[in-house]
Amino acid sequence: MTNIRKLALFAALLLLSFAGFAQRQKTAFQTGSPWKPEIDVRSDMAIVYGADDREGLTFSQRMQSWRDRGYQTGFMTGIAWGQYFDYFLGRWDGKNHLGVGQVAQNGDTIFHGRNMPYVVPVPSFIAYMKTAVIKRVIDAGITAIFLEEPEFWARAGYSEPFKEEWQKFYGFPWRPQDASPENTYLSGKLKYRLYYNAIREVSNYAKSYGRSKGKDVKVYIATHSLVNYSAWEIVSPEASLASLPGIDGYIAQVWTGTSREPTYFDGRQKERVFENAFLEYGSMLSMTAPTGRKLFFLTDPVEDWPRDWADYKKNYEATFTAEILYPEVNNYEVMPWPERIYTSPYKLANSDSAVLIPKYYSTQMQVMINVLNDMPLSANRINGVNSIGVLMSNSLMFQRFPTHNGYDDPQFSNFYGQTLPLLKRGVPVQTVHMENLGYSAALNKIRVLLMSYSNMKPNSPEVHRRLADWVKRGGVLIYCSRDDDPYQSVMEWWNSGGNKYASPALHLFQLLGIHPSSGRQRFPVGQGAVYLIRQDPKEFVLEKGADSSLIRLVKQAYEHDAKAGKLVLKNNFYLERGPYDIISVMDENEDHSPYVVKGPVIDLFDPQLPVLQSKTVNPGEQSLLYYLGRVSDKTQPKVLASASRIYNEKTDSRNYSFVAKSPVNTLNSMRVLLPSKPVSITVTDSKNHPVADVRSSWDGSSNTLYLGFENSPDGIKVDLSW
C-alpha cells in the first residue's frame, strides 16, 4: 500500500472516529432554557423541553442555541400534562379542553399548574400531541423525542371523559372506585391502558412521520420507577411500554425527591435515600434490560422541593452512588433543569439566608458529572450475593388508593418487607418484573425469588406457568402472603372464563403440585423448592426485629435448596468499575464497622480531589474513589478527574495540553497524571490571556498535579511541560 493510500485510509478512519464520538449520546440533561454560559454542562446532548415559543424566542431558536455550542439536541415534553394552552383553552381547534383533566372524588380537577390539568388521554389530546407537538419538532430537525411522565393519579377517575372510556373499555357503565376493591382495581387497569394506548399511538406516529421525512426518530419514555409510582399512588404503563415497537428506551427518573419517601424498617419509619434509590434504579433496570432497550439513569443535584444546600449535597451523593452501582448501565441524564441548579438561590444549612450554589458544591457536582461522561460498562458485580430477587408487577399500582375493608399497606411496606431486610444486610437484592418473565434473561441469574400477592396480582396464567417451570428447573420460590387482602377476589382471569380459584396463588400452587392447606412450609418441586410463609411482607418491617425469621428462611433456601453457596450478610456494598471504587455502608445494621479502602485513591466527593493512602467510609455514608493502582500506563499524561470536560488533548515527549470547559461562575478542580513534576504550567483563556489565580500543587507519591482555576464554557487551555 502506498503512503498516499495509507494516509487516505488513516484520514477516513479518523473521520469515522470523530463522527462516532459526535453522535455519542451517553450523557444528557433537560432544560427549558436557551444556551447560557451559567448552565453549559458539557454533556453529549441537551434535551430541549417544551415545543412552545417564548417571547422573542422560538422553539427552533432555543434548540439551535444549544447546537451552536456543539450539543446534540433532543426534545422532551409531558405526555400527561404540559404547556398545551392552545389545546386546553381552545385556540387549537376552537374547543375548550380543560374538561379532559383528571378529576378526584370531590369533583376537583388535578392540576399541574394554572390551566394545565393532568389529562385523561382522550382522542383529541392524542391528535393534538401528534400534529401540534411531535410533527412540529421533527420538522425542526429533532430525531430524539422523550415523552415524560405518563401519569394517572390513583385518586382520580371521576371525570366524564374517564367514565366514557370506562364504558368503551369494559362494555358496562362506569363504577366509582371508592365503592369496592374491584372497582379500584378495574379503574387502575383502565388508567394503565389509556396511557399505554396513548404512547403507542404517539410513538408510532413519530416513527412513521420521521420516516416520511427521511429521519430515524427515536422515542424514549422518561418515567419514575414502578417503586415510586406505587408508593406515590400513581398509575403508569411502566414495563409494558418496552414491548412497543415505537419505544427505544427509558429515562429512569430517580432523584432525592423520589428516594426520600419514608419507609418502614425494623419498626421505624424514616427516610432511607440510598436504599430507596438502589431499589428504584434496580426496578428500572429489571423493567428494561431483558428487552435490550436503551436506559438512561437520572439523578438531580437539587430536587423539586426547597431544602438547604447541605441536604441536597448529602442526598445527591446517596442517589448518585446508587445509580453507578449498576455496572450494566452507562447512559445518564446528569441533571434536569441546570437553570434551577446554577441560577436559583436556596438556603444554607441552619440559616434563612438563600444563596446561589456554593462553589464547593458546584465543583464537586461537576467532578461527578464528568465521572459519568467517563463511566465504563463493567462485567463486575457488587460484592456479595447477586442472585436473590423480588417479583414485581405493574399491578402494584392498582391497589394503592383508596383502602378497603380496613386493609392497609402503610408506605408500600409489602414491597419493602421483601427487600429492605436483605438490602440492609448487604444483599444487593434484585427486582424481577412479572411482565418480563417471557424473556429468558429475566430469571436466568436468580436462584431464590421472593414474591407476594398481598400488594399485586398476576396479569395472566402464563406468569404462573413460567414461574412453575423455573422452579422445576431448580429455582427456589418463597411465597409470602396471607392472601386475605380485599383484592384477591376482583374480577380477573383466575375467577372467570371457566376458572374458579378463590385467589390467584391457588392457580400457581396447583401448577407446582403443592397443597397450602397441608400446614407444611417447604415443598420440593422438581429440582427446586417452594416455601410458603403465611404472613404479609409488611409484617417483617412494621415491627422491630420481625424480619429475623425471614432472613433465616432465605439463608436456608439459598444455601441448602439452591445450593448457591454461603449467603453473605454484611453492612456494605462495594463495586470496582474501571478505575472507580464505589462504596456504600449501611446503617441500621448489627455491624457498625466502617469500610476501608487502601489507596492511593483520589476522593471524588471532595472538591479538592485529595490523594489518600486510605479511605474510611462509615455507616450511613457513601464514597466514590479513583483508584490510582488501576491506571494502566502511568507514563501517559491524563486528566484523571476534573470539574470540567476535557477537549483537544495533545501529547508529545515533554508536553501535554488540553482545553477544559465548564459553566461560568464555577471553580475548576482537577488532578492530572504526569510522567514527572512539571517545570512549566501555562493556563490561558479562549483569547489566549493568562488566567489569574491558578492554584497548583504536586503530589510526588502519585505523580499527579492538582490544578484549580475559574471555569469558562469557552474553554481554558492548559499547557504542561516536564
Fold classification of 388-561 is Rossmann fold (3.40.50)
Question: pTM for the complete prediction?
Answer: 0.96
pLDDT score of 6: 38
Is-contact 165 190, C-beta < 8 A? yes
Residue 19 reports pLDDT greater than 90: no
pLDDT for position 244:
86
Grid cell for residue 716:
481554558
Q: Are the C-beta atoms of 325 and 377 separated by less than 8 Å?
A: no
Q: Which string of DSSP letters, residue by residue, matches 367-395?
A: HHHHHHHHPPP-S---SS---EEEEE-GG
CATH 3.40.1170.10 applies to domain 3-84+129-156+174-374 = no
The CATH code that applies to domain 638-721 is 2.60.40
Average pLDDT over residues 262-278: 98
Instruction: Give me the pLDDT at residue 108, please.
Output: 98
Instruction: Give residue 241's pLDDT.
Output: 83
- Strand 680-684's sheet: what is its strand order? 645-651, 655-661, 716-721, 680-684
In the chain, what's the furthest Cα-to-Cα distance?
85
Measured between alpha carbons, how far is 275 from 291 in angstroms, rounded to an integer?
A: 25
**Alpha-carbon distance values, 231 to 225, 234, 409, 450 (Å):** 10, 8, 10, 19
> Got the DSSP string for 296-341?
EEE--SS-SS--BHHHHHHHHHHHHHHHHT-TT--EEEEEE-HHHH
- Summarize pLDDT for 75-95 with one digit per residue, the tens: 999 999 999 999 999 999 999
Domain ranges in the chain are 3-84+129-156+174-374, 388-561, 572-630, 638-721
- pLDDT at position 720 is 98
Note the pLDDT tens digit of each residue in 386-415.
999 999 999 999 999 999 999 999 999 999
Q: Which residue has the cell 441500621?
A: 588
Kindly indicate the confidence band of residue 255, based on its pLDDT and cuts at 50, 70 and 90.
very high
Q: Count CB neighbours of 371 within 10 A.
A: 21
Q: 12 falls in which pLDDT band (50, 70, 90)?
A: very low
Give the whole-angstrom CA distance, residue 418 versus residue 614: 35
Tens of pLDDT, residue by residue over 222-252, are: 999 999 999 999 999 997 887 788 999 999 9
Rounded Cα distance between 514 and 503, Å, is 15
Evaluate whether 224 touches 277 at the Cβ level (below 8 Å).
no
Q: How confident is the model at residue 315 (pLDDT cuts 50, 70, 90)?
A: very high
Q: Give tens-digit pLDDT for 321-380.
A: 999 999 999 999 999 999 999 999 999 998 989 999 999 999 999 999 999 999 999 999
String of DSSP letters for 451-488: E-SSS---S-HHHHHHHHHHHHTT-EEEEE----STTT
Q: What percent of the chain has pLDDT over 90?
A: 94
Q: What is the pLDDT of residue 614?
A: 98
pLDDT tens digits, residue range 540-551? 999 999 999 999
3-class DSSP assignment, residue 77: strand
Q: What is the pLDDT of residue 243?
A: 78
Provide the β-strand partners of residue 451: 479
Average pLDDT over residues 57-83: 97
Question: Would you call the peptide bond into 600 cis, given omega within 30 degrees of 0 as the criterion?
Answer: yes
Give the tens place of pLDDT for each residue, 577-618: 999 999 999 999 999 999 999 999 999 999 999 999 999 999
Residue 358: CB atoms within 10 Å: 15
pLDDT band at 16, cuts 50/70/90?
Answer: very low
Confidence of residue 8 (pLDDT cuts 50, 70, 90): very low
Band (pLDDT 50/70/90 cuts) for residue 18 is very low
Write down the pLDDT at residue 684.
98
What average pLDDT does the segment 497-506 reach? Answer: 97
Q: How confident is the model at residue 450 (pLDDT cuts 50, 70, 90)?
A: very high
Place of cell 447477586: 386
